[in-house]
Amino acid sequence: MNKFIIRFLKRLRVRFNKIGRSSTLKSYEEIEPYEKTAFRICVKVISHPNSEFMIAPMSNKRFIINEELNLFIIIDHIRVEITNHVFHYDVKLSSRDFERVSYLYDTETEKRRTSLEVEVKGNIQNSLQKVLMKIDNKTKKGFTE
């Protein structure tokens, strides 16, 4: 009988713990209007052709600089900082919006990197052998003089 009461109390405690936990968990994230506005600003600045992108590898921050629009944006782990030379806004994005902004940023930087790489490779005029011969000729002249 003693074991029965102990098991019953344990089961009762587990059920009360489950009830308490489920009521505090959110099943969705509420998105504030200013978060939507910050998200839309980021998307538009990322897609703007005059935006410059930088990534800080140690801190994993993403920077967007657009001098035409006078905007400077820092994207850092679910936070977006928007500076327009007059005001500074620090907005916490929902995890879904942060993932979307990061994906758009990474996609755009990859597109720009690819086009720059194609442009650089298109400007190649000499083969490696010709470059080596030019270097050899210049270094031989330097030794003889």
Residue 144 lies in a domain: no
pLDDT digits (tens, 9 = 90+) for 30-59: 788 899 999 999 999 999 999 999 999 899
Q: Would you call 80 helix, strand, or coil by DSSP?
A: strand
In this structure, is residue 4 part of a structural domain?
A: no
Q: What are φ and ψ of residue 88, in 5° steps?
A: -125, 125
Q: What is the pLDDT of residues 17-38, one digit of tens each?
A: 777 665 455 556 678 889 999 9
Q: Indicate the number of domains in the chain.
A: 1
Q: Whole-angstrom Cα distance, residue 110 to residue 93?
A: 23
Domain range spanning residue 111? 48-123
How crowded is the C-beta side of 108, counted as CA atoms within 13 Å? 23
Neighbours of 53 (CB within 10 A): 15
